[in-house]
Amino acid sequence: MKRQIWIFWIILTIIGTSCEKSRQEHLLADTKIALDIALEQSLRMAELLESQPERLPKSIYKGKLETSSSAWWTSGFFPGTLWYLYEYSGNPVYKKWAENYTLRVEKEQYRTDNHDVGFMIFCSFGNAYRITGDSVWLGPIRQASESLCTRFNPVVGCTRSWNTNAATKQWQFPVIIDNMMNLEMLVWSAKKFQQPYFNKVALTHANTTLKNHFRPDYSSYHVVSYDTLTGQAEARQTSQGYSDESAWARGQAWGLYGYTMMFRETKNSLYLQQAKAVADFIIHHPNLPEDKIPYWDFNAPDIPEALRDASAGAIICSALLELSGYVDPDKAAEYRKVAEIQLKTLCSPAYLASSGENANFILKHSVGHFMKDIEVDVPLTYADYYFVEALLRYRKIREREK
């Protein structure tokens, strides 16, 4: 009898392994289709704006393509997407367009009036250098790192996010969770240019944010304002979330991605613990849908009718794929399973644009600022960037396994 049970268990294991491999092969095929669409859409977008050398794609407004100048915080994402697609395809056409659009944001290296210079320059110039190894791309990265450091306040221990107060909020020194993303440029630049001050700023900001931005359940506030005289947190509120105490979905995504990245760059186990805790909050939240694409806010009052945010889903997916490489096998399997469901969903017609539609963006159904009715249920250039990044990360994982 024991022998029969053992044989039965072996058969079930073989069947389960076969089904899992089949599922993964189907997903791999889906990612190939999605990347083919990304190549088509992005090439059309690049060609469309060729005659407007000061513009970059942003979103859709009233059914038509909305562009921005390089001064808008999202300006570095389309160049970065083009670099990813060149890396994937090896097609020199995409390199040509990536260079073209990267140079469109070059002047932003001198920006000292906001924290998003990291998004602007490192997504564009950072990927350019990583992929080509050409030192011509290095100068703007170093200058942008110096520019970002001008916003650091040693009393507070953070770089300031905004110079002006949002709406009627009276913030002395507002710091948003999004700011974690701009630290990647600083820690990378500290090593590349042997500038320890860049690293000091990044680590201090990450540690201060870890201390003040998170609730006991590891959800994150959107905005923490600091008293510039004492350095103490004076307010914990939101600008884009449903309420001060709600869990704005993209904010949770920034926190997850930011601390995963900080562990990669520093190997500090404190950052890994934080990333795991944020990941667990997200993936075990009772309001996370079965397809794993979050509502725009985990506490939106109209769930399950609330709008989804593909941008938050793409960021979380990319972060989970990276995080799965830093944890024990059980956690890795758990994180990767969620990421695979997210990829499967985002690669479906529900979110993935058909060739020639969606104003040449790749993903549909993102939410920028729901509470102000800005960029609601539209494509967003950063959703495309992190989606393509997630696709490439997944395919690299599969290649290593093979």
Residue 34: give its domain's CATH number: 1.50.10.10
CA 89 and chain centroid, separation: 22
| Helix (H), strand (E) counts: the chain | 13, 9
347 and 367 together in one domain: yes
- Say how many Å lie between the first and final Cα of the chain, rounded: 37
DSSP 300-357: -TTTTSSPB-HHHHHHHHHHHHHHTTSS-HHHHHHHHHHHHHHHHHHTSTTTBPPTT-
**Could you tell me which of 139, 120, 118 has the C-alpha nearest to residue 129?**
139
What residues are labeled active site? 116, 178
Cα dist from 214 to 54, 210, 274, whole Å: 39, 7, 10
Specify binding-site residues for substrate.
116, 178, 238, 250, 254
Contact 105, 70 (CB under 8 A): yes
* Domain assignment of residue 98, yes or no: yes
pLDDT at 94: 98
Indicate if the alpha-carbon torsion angle 239, 243, 246, 249 is positive or negative.
negative
* 282 and 311 housed in the same domain: yes
Is residue 11, in this structure, part of any structural domain at all? no
- Is the domain of 207 the same as that of 62? no
Of 114, 137, 160, the domain-final residue: 137
Residue 34 located in a structural domain: yes
Same domain, 255 and 370: yes
261/402 same-domain check: yes
Q: What are phi and psi of 143, to 5 degrees?
A: -65, -40
Q: Could you tell me the residue range of the domain that residue 275 belongs to?
A: 24-49+248-402
Contacts of 127 (CB under 8 A, 6+ apart): 79, 80, 83, 84, 87, 98
Q: Residue 287 class from Cβ within 10 Å (0-12 exposed, 13-18 middle, 19+ buried)?
A: middle
Dihedrals φ, ψ of 58, to 5°? -125, -60
Tell me the Cα Rg of the chain.
21
Judgement on whether residues 205 and 347 belong to the same structural domain of the protein? no
Q: Is residue 2 part of a domain?
A: no
* Ramachandran region, residue 162 (left: φ > 0; alpha: ψ -120 to 50; beta: rest): beta
Residues 311, 265: one domain?
yes
Total number of domains in the chain: 3
Same-domain pairing of 60 and 45: no
> What is residue 164's predicted lDDT score, i.e. its pLDDT?
74
Give the helix, strand, coil percentages of the chain, each rounded to 5: 60, 10, 30
Mind listing the pLDDT tens digit of every residue in the chain (402 residues)? Answer: 556 656 555 554 454 555 666 778 899 999 999 999 999 999 999 999 999 999 999 999 999 999 999 999 999 999 999 999 999 999 999 999 999 999 999 999 999 999 999 999 999 999 999 999 999 999 999 999 999 999 999 999 999 999 976 555 689 999 999 999 999 999 999 999 999 999 999 999 999 999 999 999 999 999 999 999 999 999 999 999 999 999 999 999 999 999 999 999 999 999 999 999 999 999 999 999 999 999 999 999 999 999 999 999 999 999 999 999 999 999 999 999 999 999 999 999 999 999 999 999 999 999 999 999 999 999 999 999 999 999 999 999 999 987
Choose one of 180, 208, 239: the last residue of a domain.
Answer: 239
**Same-domain check for residues 330 and 359:** yes
Let me know if residue 346 belongs to a domain: yes
* Residues in binding site: 116, 178, 238, 250, 254
